[in-house]
Amino acid sequence: MQRRSSDAPVPNLSDLGKGVPLTSVPASWPLYIVEFTLGRSGLFYLTDLSLDIRVGDLVIVEADQGKDLGTIVNDSITLKEVVAFEREQRERVA
């Protein structure tokens, strides 16, 4: 899939770092799984499409509790894969 800067709407700065629902993340925004210390991980998106971020890169992310340093462990996950994974997790619990 080709990503273009024009596909990404300008984010609301007050929403950055707050658990933005997946339904509000445009499909054109790249998604990344970032791993932190003690095995914690999270899903993050990127609005600056000019950056070239790959697996193994160190990144500083804005999260609910402030900024954190982590390592990219997946740079090719899609929105559909995330939704399927979440559905599978809910089904296992139920």
Interatomic CA distance for residues 1 and 77, integer angstroms: 12
Tell me which DSSP letter residue 82 carries: H
**Of 40, 45, 3, 41, the residue nearest 20 (C-alpha):** 45
> DSSP secondary structure string, 48-88?
-TT----TT-EEEEEETTEEEEEEEEES---HHHHHHHHHH
Domain map (residue ranges) of the chain: 24-93
pLDDT of 18: 55
pTM of whole model > 0.75?
Answer: no
Start-to-end C-alpha separation, the chain: 35
pLDDT tens, residue order, the chain (94 aa) = 444 444 444 445 444 445 677 778 887 888 999 999 888 888 888 888 889 999 999 999 887 778 899 999 999 998 888 888 888 878 888 7
